[in-house]
Structure formats: C-alpha cells, structure tokens
Amino acid sequence: MNKNIIHRITKNAIMLALLCTIGMFSLPLGDNIKVSLQLLMVFIIGLTASSVIDGIIVTGLYLALGLFMPIYAGFSAGISPTFGFVISFVVIVIPLYFLNKLKIKNQFIRMGIACAVSLIICYAIGALFLMLYLNLSIEKALLIAVVPYIPFDIAKIVIAILVVSLLPKKI
C-alpha cells in the first residue's frame, strides 16, 4: 500500500477519534447554554485535511456514528434540535479546505477567513434546522442557537488557528 494512503487513513482515523472524544464533552454555562469543542475540532480537521474528501469523510463518519452512539455534545446520540449543527460540520469542511488554499501570504488571515466563512455557514444550517425542528421563527432560532455562542466560537477560531499554525507542515 502507498505510504501516502496509509498516512491519510491514519490521520483521518486520529481526527475522527479526536472529534468523537472531544465532541462528547460540553461545558454548561447556565440557562441551557452548553459549549462544546466539536466546532474547534471541525475547524482543525478542515484546515489540516489532506483533501476535501478526507474532511468530508471524517465529519460524515462522525455524523453517522453519532446517530447510534453517544458521541455528540453532552454524550448524546441521534437527531435532536441541534442536529443541524452536526450536519453543517460535513458542509463547512468544504469552504474550510478551499479557503485555506487561497493565495494569502499571512496564514493567520487566511485561516481566519476560512473559519469565519465556515462559522457563518454552520450558524445558518444549524439555526435553519432548529427553526424547522421546533417550529420557531428565524429570529428566535438565532437568539437561542447562535447569539449566545458567538464569543465562544470566536475563541475556538483563535485556538484552532494557533493549534494548526503550531503543527508540523507535514501534517
């Protein structure tokens, strides 16, 4: 087997294991606000994927496994009101991967743009799913599922950029 293929499979397996492990834990902040690290790991996966297909495979497997195993935030499984965010993980690795390939010399700006655009897409998909699942107005869905998390998600972007910039280039 080609060494490159073995490297990619191993890397994808490690990323999936990290996403499954880190994704289970959430920090309760009161008033039904729980912050998980799923999105942080998705940012790292999208920014370091060997190909866009690898990012889709890892996040797609996470989505599929979580339907049956309690690997989502708060040790949950299956479809819930916030399942739209998990769906969005499979989608946002695409702009994460491609926007990180832009010809912008400053890697921090390049990765910041990739993460910010991806976060907006994540919010849109997650809020839309929540709105439809709970029959809410879009304003109510945004107030419940987006607004309280913006500062935490900005911090996740900063942490992801720092982690990825410290990783060896070979990863």
**What pLDDT digit, counting tens, does each position of 130-142 carry?**
999 999 999 999 9
Q: How far apart are the first and last CA of the chain?
A: 19
Q: What is the pLDDT of residues 159-171, one digit of tens each?
A: 999 999 999 877 6
Both structure tokens of 17: 């294991």
Q: Tell the CATH topology of 3-166.
A: Arp2/3 complex 21 kDa subunit ARPC3 (1.10.1760)
Q: What is the average pLDDT across 39-67?
A: 97
3-state secondary structure of 76: strand
Q: What confidence category does residue 115 fall into, taking pLDDT thresholds of 50, 70 and 90?
A: very high
